Structure 1
């Protein structure tokens, strides 16, 4: 089947737009997984179990990498649909929904856009909260380290650390 046959009838049930929709579903699943991983990271932070923080952060990064790849694949599929619908190749998901030749595909693409927008807002809020927890943990660690360091000591005439209270400063410039 050539490209012209695939798009007969305005592309309402075309396999290429179905492929785009499938890629959008996959991306939404990854966004859900990212939300879960960020919530997991937040639980580790709030529980003070920083031992597991590197694992949680690594898992977030792995999902982000998968999302980047899925986003590239989705962009390629969207460009193919945009071209077939005689829209600019760089048409956004909103542009595709607005330019869909079939009301059903317009509705489906609009639903994907709304869901992904909501998921992104949730992810942004989790990311910001986790950043605040990390900053607070870093501050707490710095304060703890500052209180556990032994006081600075001076040395006596033999080069041994002087006992507290035995240190004297002399101005020999006189």
Structure 2
């Protein structure tokens, strides 16, 4: 029963990673189109998905620890180790499919974050023409602040604990 709960948790995490990828791709499209007035909203959208991902990662950790205990393994067992120790039946294949899909999503997310960071850093904010006076300065400062927030959020999209769980990186 707990292996099916783990599989469900992995599905939920995959869904949130897909949504994160979608949000990053949407952000890049807006940045490429020069829609800088949406920087703050795009950063909020990415942050919302990151918040949900934290919850999904916790749920996955709980379910994974339960399966590990059921299969006689330590609680901090990676998904690769769970697959190796899985009893005969469908679980090695099902968990292996999750492993492949999650690794693929993490690779795509890493590339999307890299491209977004480059696009955000390439924005020519300083020499940008704007309204004269205090309102123009305020607009420039707001855009610069939104840009910094967007960069910070993009940098937070890496999922090191998930990568470790998938056997992609070690401490």
TM-score, normalised to structure 1, is 0.72
Q: Of 109, 113, 121, which residue of structure 1 is paired with 2:107? A: 121
Deviations 1:61-97 (A, max 9, x none): 1101101110011001000000000011100111111
CA distance in 2, matches of 1:127, 1:58: 15
Report the structure number with the largest CA radius of gyration: 1
Deviation of 1:128 after TM superposition, in Å, equals 0.6
2:51 is the counterpart of 1:65: yes
2:143 is matched with none
CA distance in 2, matches of 1:55, 1:141: 18
CA distance in 1, matches of 2:12, 2:59: 11
Deviation of 1:143 after TM superposition, in Å, equals 3.5
1:22 is matched with 8
Higher relative contact order (CA 8 A, sep 6+): 2
2:152 is matched with none
1:131 is matched with 117
Q: Of 143, 154, 160, which residue of structure 1 is paired with 2:127? A: 143
1:99 is matched with 85
CA distance in 2, matches of 1:37, 1:107: 30
Question: How big is the alpha-carbon RMSD for the aligned residues of Structure 1 and Structure 2?
Answer: 1.5
CA distance in 2, matches of 1:33, 1:102: 33
Deviation of 1:102 after TM superposition, in Å, equals 2.3
Q: Which has the higher helix share?
A: 2
Deviation of 1:115 after TM superposition, in Å, equals 0.3
Deviation of 1:144 after TM superposition, in Å, equals 3.6
Equivalent position SS for 2:90 = helix
